[in-house]
Amino acid sequence: MVARLIMLGTGSAFPTHSYNSCFIIKSDHFTLLADAGGGNGIFERLERAGIAPAELTHFVISHAHTDHILGAVWIVRARINLVKSGKTLPPLHIYANEPTVSALIEICRLTFLDSYFSMIKDVTDIHVINPPSQIVVGNATVDFFDVMSENVKQLGFRLTFTDGRSIVSLGDEALTQQNREAAKNTDYLICGAFCRYADRDIFHPYEKHHLTVKDVAKTAQRCDIKHLILYHSEDSTIEKQEKYAHEASAYFSGKVTIPADLDIIDL
C-alpha cells in the first residue's frame, strides 16, 4: 500500500449529518491535510480518524470560504497550544493562494490573544502559492493549479507518488470544461458533486455554483480518470452512497466512490 486517503468530512457548507469536506492523504513519509472544515469540529474528526494534530506535516487550504478555512484557524491554534505546553514540533507547512493566506492571518489576528498570534510564525511555514507551481512532499510531488472556479479563486493540486500513481483534488469545485485539462489522466479524482441530477429541483445545485453527479460523471468519462471520488454534497438524501453511485455509473465507466465521513480509501 502506497498511502491512504482518509475522508474526514464529506458534506457541503451546511451539513447536518456530516462534517464539511476535508481529507487527509497519509503515507509513510507525510500526513497531508486538505482543508479543515468550518470550525473546531475538525478535532473530533481527527481524533476519530486516529490522527493527532501534532502528526500533520503539510496542510493545503483550497480557498477562503467559511466551510474550508475556519477549521484551519483551529489547526494553527492547536499547534500553538502544543508548543506552549512544551512540545517540540517542526513547523506545519501550509500552502494556499494569496487571498486564502491573507484571510487566515486576518482571522487569526482578530480572534487570537496577541501572545498566540505572535507565535504563528514559530509553528507554521506558510507558503503563498501562485499556481502553477510544484513542491516535493516526502515521496511525492504536488503540482498546484487554479481550479478555474467562477465563484472564488481556488487552489487545486495533483499529488504524484514516485511510482507514478496520482491523485487530483479540485477543492469543492466540480470537474468542469474549464479545469478538465488539469484533472486528466489520473488514478483518483476528488471533486465536488452537490447532488444527483435527478434531485436538482430539490437541492438547486446550479444556483450555488455547484454541479451534479451526472454532470461530473459525463466529463470524467472523457478525461481518462480511473477512480472518481465525489463529495461536498447535500447530506439529507437517505442511502446517498448507493443512489449517487448509480447515477454516476450511467455516465462513467471507471470506479466510483461516494465516501461517507471517516471512510478510508487505500491508494
The reply to whether 172 sits near Zn ion by the rule CB under 5 A is: yes
Segment near Zn ion (CB under 5 A); pick from 66-74, 79-87, 149-157, 255-263: 66-74
Nearer to Zn ion, 80 or 213 (CB): 213
Give min distance, CB of 146 to Zn ion, in A. 16
Q: Which residue is nearest to Zn ion (CB)?
A: 172
Shortest CB 126 distance to Zn ion, Å: 21
Interface map 127-166 toward Zn ion (x if CB under 5 A): ----------------------------------------
| Shortest reach from residue 61's CB to Zn ion, in Å | 12
Q: Report the residue number, 9 or 53, with the smaller CB distance to Zn ion.
A: 9
Beta-strand relationship, 3-9 and 255-257: unpaired
Separation between Cα atoms, residue 217 and residue 230, nearest integer Å: 10
Looking at the Cβ atoms of 73 and 120, the one nearer to Zn ion is: 73
Q: How far apart (Å, rounded) are the C-alpha atoms in residues 34 and 25?
A: 8
CA distance 211 to 200: 9
- Candidate ranges 172-180, 208-216, 237-245, 258-266; the one touching Zn ion (CB under 5 A): 172-180
Q: Which stretch binds Zn ion (CB under 5 A): 43-51, 61-69, 114-122, 202-210?
A: 61-69
Q: Which three cell numbers stand for residue 65?
A: 470560504
**Closer to Zn ion by Cβ: residue 172 or 215:** 172
Should residue 261 be labelled a site residue for Zn ion when binding is judged by CB under 5 A? no
Residue 234 binds Zn ion, judged by CB under 5 A: no
Tell me which stretch binds Zn ion (CB under 5 A): 73-81, 117-125, 168-176, 209-217.
168-176
Instruction: Please pick, from the candidates 19, 56, 67, 223, the single residue that binds Zn ion as defined by CB under 5 A.
Output: 67
Q: How many CB atoms lie within 10 A of CB 234?
A: 24
In the complex, minimum distance from the CB of residue 157 to Zn ion, in angstroms, rounded to a whole number: 16
Q: Which of residues 9-38 bind Zn ion (CB under 5 A)?
A: none
Closer to Zn ion at the Cβ: 172 or 234? 172
SS (H, E, C) the chain: CCEEEEEEECECCCCCCCCECEEEEEECCCEEEECCCCCCHHHHHHHHHCCCHHHCCEEECCCCCHHHHHHHHHHHHHHHHHHHCCCCCCCEEEEECHHHHHHHHHHHHHHCCHHHHCCHHHHEEEEECCCCEEEEECCEEEEEEECCCCCCCCEEEEEEECCCCEEEECCCCCCCCCCHHHHCCEEEEEEECCECHHHHHHHCCHHHCCCEHHHHHHHHHCCCEEEEEEECECCCCCCHHHHHHHHHHCCCCCEEECCCCCCEEEC
Query: Between 8 and 123, whose beta carbon lies closer to Zn ion?
Result: 8
Question: 65 or 79, CB closer to Zn ion?
Answer: 65
Give the interface with Zn ion as residue ranges (CB under 5 A). 67, 172
